[in-house]
Structure 1
Amino acid sequence: MKLTKVAAMGATVALSALALAACSSKNTTANNDNTLRLMLTGDVQSLDNSNVANLAQWNVLEQTMEGLYRADKKGNPAPAMATKVVKPSNNGKTYVFHLRKNAKWANGDPVTAQDFVNSWRRSAGPTAKSGYNYIFTGIKNAEQVSTGKMPTSALGVKALDRHTLRVDLEYAMPYFSRMMVLPAFFPQNTRMVKQTGSKYGTNSKNMVANGPFQVKGWTGSNDSWKLVRNKYYYDKKDIHLKQMNMRVVKDANTAHQLFQQKQLDDAQITGTTAQGLQKDENLRHVYRAGTYYLRLNLANNKAFQNAKLRQALFLVLNKDSLAKKVLSDGSQAASTYVAPRLAVDPTTGKDFAKETAPKETYNVKKAQQLWQEGLKELGQKKVKLTLVSDDQTVTKNVGQFVQSQVESKLAGASVEVHAVPSKEVSDRLANGNFDMQSALWLADFADPVSDFDVLTKNNPQNYGKYANDNYNQQLVDAKGVNGTNPKKYWANMRAAQEQLNQDMPVVPLYTMTESHLVNPKVKGVLWHSVGETDYTRASFTK
């Protein structure tokens, strides 16, 4: 996900974690007032999806808004504001959506095609502050619109009539339907945006929802509020909750205590708290389509310009040991940049990450041989490497693990770990002042291209300066000549991952895993590996 990441989970086990393991986390009483009590790990800064994009905001929007589609229990697009999942015409470049005529905003206004047009124009335009206008790339004229070279009216989205929306693409995007569940593509109530202007989404009074619930009592700065039912929602029969109560809880130990006190029905825990509760009967692991990895600097003046050194680094790190002994929070070792559970290759029926995994993921002897060959090619006998990470405990521990593995197993290698505030990490990346950097990539939508685009030659987030002609061409072909041919498209995807396995510009470490304490009486929650958790159809068993 191309925005501020959630805090990673896990740390070395502390005595306090062992004490927590003995505590009961039972929360088994049915909720008599039919209210689901939830938490967010970060602050909601705005409900305007054109001006802010962070995980806390998207979590709230997931429960209160709907786009053309929503994700079903398998993570596939299902009709929401659109009456059906449509097939494109014009060689995959034109989509025509028919909206539900009974879809209404919580103020009673009908949801119209123009609500989508205006929202997308605001979000794709150069004045959008969300940092997410890039996601519209591929829609006709989106890049020119986002840079101000064309007016927002030139964006390839048009209301043909009150309930018909047409979208024109520049090239076939077989993943376009999967993108439509993203909050970035949600509509905005045209009348509300016009009335509130710059205040739109700054508090719940300056916002109106079109989904099952609407926000009440959020001032723009408070840390607790309610989501109440939208009486105009078209699918009321499938909404069982009376309301949801939301609060911001940033401390994992506090979240655990609130769960024990039955003030939370879903408590996300991290770090030593999560480690100490891995055997709790109410623990649920949520495996997200995100990979923690080392971004390597391939610039000409850096050691990792040499491919053999990069391959050696991948093979020398015991990722299983990192996941099980250092993190010990349910995380799993990763071997590919694309995370497991992101997508199934429809041409093979296999999980994409698993089918493209390297045959060798840990081989110290081979790593040592490659390391010495790489040093010889560089004309050096030793190298001093800088590993940059943020200053969270977990990333410090990962940095120390990498440092220990490299220095103890690779002759002539030394590693300095610089754990610094996030702002300094960003500055160092922008200036190329690093050899390795601890990073996380969480997929935007359920297709490998969501990950692969970041490593293309001209992507602004390709801080490691990776440039491989074959890799870039695979993505060009996937979005061009092969965009309407699933067999060739997925062959491009496999070839792109295999090129990364060979070049190793990023070294996968472990997968993103969330630890949740969940009231066992809660049913019907959709835990998505891609996108936010959907609580809208939840209910309590008696």
Structure 2
Amino acid sequence: MKNKVLLGGLAVGLSVLLAACGSKASGNASSSSSSTSGSTTKISLMQNSELLSLDNSNFADLTMWNVLENSMEGLYRQDSNNKVSAGIAESVVKPTNNGKTYTFHLRHNAKWSNGDAVTANDFVKSWQRSVSAKSKSGYNYIFSGIKNADKISDGKLSPTKLGAKAVDAHTLQVNLEHPMPYFSKMMILPAFFPQDSKVVQKYGSKYGTSSDKTVFDGPFKVTGWTGTNDSWKLLRNSHYYDQKAIHLKEIDMQVVKDANTAHNLFSKGQLDDATITGVTAQGLQKDKNLQHVQKAGTYYLRLNTKSGKTLNNVKLRQAVSLAIDRNHLTKDVLADGSTPAYTYVAQGLATDPTTGKDFATEMKPSETYNVTKAKQLWKEGLKEAKVKGNVTLELVGADDTMYKNVAQYLQGTLQQKLSNVKVSTQNLPTKSWSGKEAAGTFDFDQTFWLADFGDPENFLSILTKNNPQNYGHYADSQFNAAMTDATTSNAANESSYWKDMRTAQKRLNETMPVVPLYSMVESHLVNPKLKGIEYHPVGENDYTRAYLEK
């Protein structure tokens, strides 16, 4: 998921997100005798960017997914051990039909926050909206592999032809075009959450544009979001099927973009979990309330490879990558526990079962920082691209403090180490940034991808030729062939599948349509009385089972 930031997509993204000095993938704050919250049944949280929608069919970024993670529920959810567990489905099921059919039996006591029953049709209709060629989320590609999904996304078939049907009110059957070994992991994603079909029909295009035009099937319901304001509440959903598991009555959320502001709010007891970055994080590395949470996410530069763009030239892209000192970036600029990233696929995401090695570690390029070679490649690339005189490259990104700090570093280092180049930076509000991404009006796009599920395919598929989030217009025949084979003919063959994954990542190392910068680590200041947070390495942070000690 990136966050437009998570996405991430976020955006988008998000994010995901094992730690240098704190919790592991899931964990709790340490005990203490005092609470920064005024109530043992309410906590206050922050988001780094605005909430722009609650409609998972027509939008996708990290803030929205963070909110939906705590107010909605899909067929499955992640437990405190980061394992797939039953959600609206009664149990985790095994596929039949040689791995191509999944039959889910839904809980009869699952209800929406308005009292409506959650039905199989709510999943079917939601997925049909999301996979449609008219969907604006950029996430219709995630349904690829479900029968007819690709043709529907391309506008060649009606969404009603999707391989998902309601056998009866509480039985959902999904038919795949080929085995997908990661399918169960995908079912935790907000992209696959249901929608109350009655409410969607009532509000039409206005569905999800405010909290009062949305209903929720999770432990909490969003209230007080008008569509434009920067604070809202999540109140306990009295209709949720597992009331005993929920301890909080209220989660307050507000948008906080500046790390120093987040620290101040935490110090005043106005946030129970504050995310900090940059100089603020650097100065608080020994704070007793600090927790580092490593996520399976990668911050990177998306390079615009579209014909006519300067960075369409592969040598120029290689030069950019080799000119960046990632150790300096993480240690001195970020200083928040982040570590250098050398592959698009995040470190810690997945172990290659055919080698027993972490996928990102085994695929690390042999050369990652070489200024002399970068200068030579840059010179050759400019000649090949027939660029004379100075070249100006536009770097765009979000307007939060971390992005601004990284943008300043990139601007300085590239202008210093490469000849005849000027880097202009634009750090924009989420909506404006997303617009420039979608329109392709950038040379560099400073972004990240936060893993949706624990498989390299989740990262690599973003860069396939026809993926709607391939905003850099990367189109490489070798890369696309490896990804096609991995998700079709080789999907059921473990050895062949992982060979294809390695081939695809190696091709990215060679052609550099994306320049990995650093791995995603969240630095959290956490109320020491706040327990039960599930910090998932893959997926969003889950506060639904959290509680405050008295």
Q: Could you say what secondary structure the match of 1:37 adopts? A: strand
**CA deviation vs aligned residue, 1:507-540 (integer Å, no higher than 9, x gap):** 2112233322101111111112332210111123
| Aligned equivalent of 1:476 | 484
Deviation, 1:407, is 4.6
Paired letter, 2:58: N
Change (3 A) 1:119 1:312: closer
TM-score calculated relative to the size of structure 2: 0.84
1:537 and 2:542 matched: no
Q: Which runs of 5+ in 1 are unaligned?
A: 10-25
Task: Tell me if structure 2 keeps the 8 A contact 1:483–1:489.
Answer: yes
- Separation (CA, whole Å) in 1 of partners of 2:79 and 2:499: 27
1:332 and 2:339 matched: yes
- Separation (CA, whole Å) in 1 of partners of 2:496 and 2:355: 12
Q: Could you say what secondary structure the match of 1:64 adopts? A: coil
Deviation, 1:452, is 1.1
Structure number, greater radius of gyration: 1
1:514 and 2:522 matched: yes
Task: Tell me if structure 1 keeps the 8 A contact 2:396–2:442.
Answer: no
- Separation (CA, whole Å) in 1 of partners of 2:462 and 2:380: 30
Paired letter, 2:454: A
1:4 and 2:11 matched: no
After TM superposition, the structure 1 stretch with the greater mean CA deviation from structure 2, 210-219 or 165-174, is 210-219
TM-score calculated relative to the size of structure 1: 0.85
Task: Tell me if structure 1 keeps the 8 A contact 2:2–2:447.
Answer: no
**CA deviation vs aligned residue, 1:229-255 (integer Å, no higher than 9, x gap):** 333433233222233233333443333
Q: Identify which of 476, 480, 491 aligns with 2:499.
A: 491
Change (3 A) 1:165 1:301: closer
Change (3 A) 1:497 1:74: farther
1:457 and 2:436 matched: no
Q: Percent identity?
A: 56
| Aligned equivalent of 2:326 | 319
- Separation (CA, whole Å) in 1 of partners of 2:238 and 2:511: 55
Task: Tell me if structure 1 keeps the 8 A contact 2:2–2:62.
Answer: no
Change (3 A) 1:150 1:236: same
Equivalenced residues, count: 525
Aligned-residue CA RMSD (Å): 3.3
Matches of residues 75-224 of structure 1 in structure 2 within 5 Å? 75-224=82-231
Paired letter, 2:167: L
| Aligned equivalent of 2:70 | 63
- Separation (CA, whole Å) in 1 of partners of 2:210 and 2:442: 40
Change (3 A) 1:292 1:245: closer
- Separation (CA, whole Å) in 2 of partners of 1:313 and 1:503: 12
Task: Tell me if structure 2 keeps the 8 A contact 1:82–1:98.
Answer: yes
Task: Tell me if structure 1 keeps the 8 A contact 2:279–2:335.
Answer: no
Deviation, 1:406, is 3.9
| Aligned equivalent of 2:532 | 524
- Separation (CA, whole Å) in 1 of partners of 2:329 and 2:226: 42
Q: Which runs of 5+ in 2 are unaligned?
A: 15-30
Task: Tell me if structure 2 keeps the 8 A contact 1:375–1:382.
Answer: no
Q: Identify which of 439, 461, 465 aligns with 2:447.
A: 439
After TM superposition, the structure 1 stretch with the greater mean CA deviation from structure 2, 106-115 or 294-303, is 294-303
**CA deviation vs aligned residue, 1:169-225 (integer Å, no higher than 9, x gap):** 233322222221111211122333344445544444443322222334444455444
Change (3 A) 1:378 1:159: closer
| Aligned equivalent of 2:25 | none
| Aligned equivalent of 2:28 | none
Paired letter, 1:539: Y
**CA deviation vs aligned residue, 1:288-344 (integer Å, no higher than 9, x gap):** 333222333445656655544433432332110011112223322111111223233
- Separation (CA, whole Å) in 2 of partners of 1:340 and 1:448: 10
Matches of residues 272-311 of structure 1 in structure 2 within 5 Å? 272-298=279-305, 304-311=311-318
